[in-house]
């Protein structure tokens, strides 16, 4: 497994502000850590659609506690939560789907052209 700890983390908001892209254009992020294993491995690239339809079970980039986080958004009887796929991490209760700032529409393993998966 590669060590990504030495890489500099760039907040998503800075990437969007610095680019010439419209706010609604898809962007790519690299998965860091193991909170979304086994579906998303560290080092994979995810493509995020900022204006994508958020629904129960969507993989999203959300803004909670003054940071951006990659999780699955899930509807429960008592409200919404951001769920990591790795059971070693805790669920994060949220007020509603408004915390989602983009929906993951695709993932790709770097260096492997044929290894990609779409989420629609």
pLDDT at 110: 82
CA 31 and chain centroid, separation = 8
Instruction: Note whether 31 and 48 are within 8 A (CB).
Output: no
CATH of 12-118, one of 2.10.109.10, 3.10.20.30, 3.50.50.60, 3.40.605.10: 2.10.109.10
For 41-100, what is each residue's pLDDT tens digit? 999 999 999 999 999 999 999 999 999 999 999 999 999 999 999 999 999 999 999 999
Per-residue buried b or exposed e for 45-71, using 16+ beta carbons within 10 Å of the residue's own CB: ebbbbbebebeeebbbbbbeeeeebbb
Task: Tell me the pLDDT tens digit for each residue of 1-53.
Answer: 444 445 544 444 444 444 445 568 999 999 999 999 999 999 999 999 999 99
Confidence (pLDDT) at 115? 79
The model carries a pTM of 0.79
Strand partners, 93: 81
Q: Cis peptide leading into 63, omega within 30 of 0?
A: no
Pair of tokens at residue 50: 């900022």
């Amino acid at each position: 497994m590669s060590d990504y700890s030495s890489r500099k983390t760039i907040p998503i908001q800075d990437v969007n502000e610095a680019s010439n892209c419209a706010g609604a254009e898809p962007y790519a992020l690299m998965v860091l850590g193991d909170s979304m294993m086994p579906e998303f491995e560290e080092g994979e690239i995810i493509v995020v659609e900022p204006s994508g339809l958020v629904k129960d079970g969507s993989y999203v980039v959300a803004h909670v506690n003054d940071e951006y986080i990659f999780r699955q958004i899930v509807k429960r009887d008592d409200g919404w939560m951001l769920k990591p796929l790795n059971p070693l991490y805790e669920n994060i209760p949220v007020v509603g789907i408004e915390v989602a700032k983009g929906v993951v529409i695709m993932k790709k393993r770097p260096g492997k052209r044929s290894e990609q998966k779409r989420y629609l």
